[in-house]
Amino acid sequence: MTINVYGVGNAIMDLQVQCDDAFLEANAIEKGIMTLTSEEDQQKILDALQTHKVNTCSGGSAANTIVGIADMGGKVAYCGKTGSDNFGLQYATELQDLGIHFGAKASNETTGTCVVLITPDAQRTMLTNLGVSATLSPSDIDEAAIAKADYIYVEGYLFAGESTKEAALHAIDIANQCGTKIALTISDPFLIDICRDEFKYLIEGPVDLLFCNEDEAAALTGEDDPVHAAHAIHKTCDNVALTLGKNGSIIMHGGEVIAIEGVTVDAVDTTGAGDMYAAGVLYGITNGLSWKQAGHLGSHAAAKIVAQLGARLPAPLSQEEIQELLN
């Protein structure tokens, strides 16, 4: 069976919590960024949240995208690593219930968690303990699945660790050998400071499609204007999808700038908006849509995420609903 997209990323259980700025200040948490934490520090935050309502959901950036593609009717598989604890069992069950082949290898270690603190201004602040996901390695990559895929989708966060970086590069090498196209998401501007050479090599080489936001594009190219940044990346990368928040996105394809409109909604939680945008684009280009249509679908799907709590669509999209969005 052909797979539209084979995703590789950190398998992280998301714990989404609504809180106020006072909670962040009381716990010395820097607002609006992702911070890596130790298992001990993560447990302290979880203890401090005992009086809050916590929503749990299998997550991780690439996993959110893969689930989004599945919810649109695409054929997908995912490679991550979870422990054999309750979070790990929940994670595997949730993906398998969605019909997603999940290549996790159980261990006695702790499943990674990401506490997503959502303040009333819809800002998200993330505290991530990678747990066993940090031990993802080349041996975990399903080479046969990559050979059957139209695209692999690699999460930039993997480049922050040696073992996970090796896994990502191995998946890219296999895809290159098989003729499977390669999509990469930068994931976070801070990664460019520590992985600039690797990203530069990949973008100038095997990567067919780069996903990034305007901050990441600026950090990557030195261009403050997103259109100029998109052009700069497109000189060496066949396709670029550069998101602009509420202002939509820019897609570069075949030397053409394709402007994608933003969709206005009342923002509740921005968690996963970029992941869902990538889902719409990847679903579209692997299922017969034009690049403009794919970007349009990504924009509308991301808007659905921003208007609610959590990084998943409220319900799968039928083909009729997708056509309505495209029209």
φ and ψ at residue 185, rounded to 5 degrees: -110, 135
pLDDT number for residue 103: 75
Q: How many CB atoms lie within 10 A of CB 53?
A: 8
φ and ψ at residue 263, rounded to 5 degrees: -115, 120
pLDDT number for residue 105: 66
Backbone angle region of 69, left / alpha / beta, with phi > 0 → left and psi within -120 to 50 → alpha: alpha
Q: Strands 256-260 and 249-253, how do they pair?
A: antiparallel
End-to-end CA distance of the chain: 30
pLDDT number for residue 296: 96
How many angstroms separate the CA atoms of 77 and 144, rounded?
A: 11
Q: Strands 181-185 and 209-213, how do they pair?
A: parallel
pLDDT number for residue 104: 66
pLDDT number for residue 315: 86
For 236-323, strand residue ranges (E) read 239-243, 249-253, 256-260
φ and ψ at residue 137, rounded to 5 degrees: -140, 170
How many angstroms separate the CA atoms of 246 and 262, rounded?
A: 5
Angle in degrees, CA 100, 275, 169, rounded to 5: 75
HSE-up of residue 24 (Cα within 13 Å, Cβ side): 22
Residue 282 tokens read as 């990847």
Could you give the 3-state DSSP secondary structure of residue 41? Answer: helix
Residue 109 tokens read as 């270690």
Closest to 107 (Cα-Cα) out of 84, 86, 88: 84
pTM of the complete model: 0.92
Residues 6 and 77: beta-carbon distance below 8 Å: yes
Per-residue model confidence as pLDDT tens for the chain (327 residues)? 689 999 999 999 999 899 999 999 999 999 988 888 998 999 999 899 989 999 888 999 999 999 999 999 999 999 999 998 899 999 999 999 999 988 766 677 889 999 989 999 888 898 999 999 999 999 999 999 999 999 999 999 999 999 999 999 999 999 999 999 999 999 888 899 999 999 999 999 999 999 999 999 999 999 999 999 999 999 999 999 999 988 999 999 999 999 999 888 887 767 788 999 999 999 999 999 999 999 999 999 999 888 777 778 888 899 999 998 888
φ and ψ at residue 287, rounded to 5 degrees: -135, 35
Sheet with 12-18, side-by-side order of all strands: 34-36, 124-129, 112-118, 12-18, 54-59
Residues 187 and 217: beta-carbon distance below 8 Å: no
For helices 273-285 and 61-71, the axis angle rounded to 10 degrees is 50
Closest to 283 (Cα-Cα) out of 303, 304, 300, 307: 300
How many angstroms separate the CA atoms of 210 and 234, rounded?
A: 9
Angle in degrees, CA 246, 250, 264, rounded to 5: 20
Residue with tokens 């030195």: 222
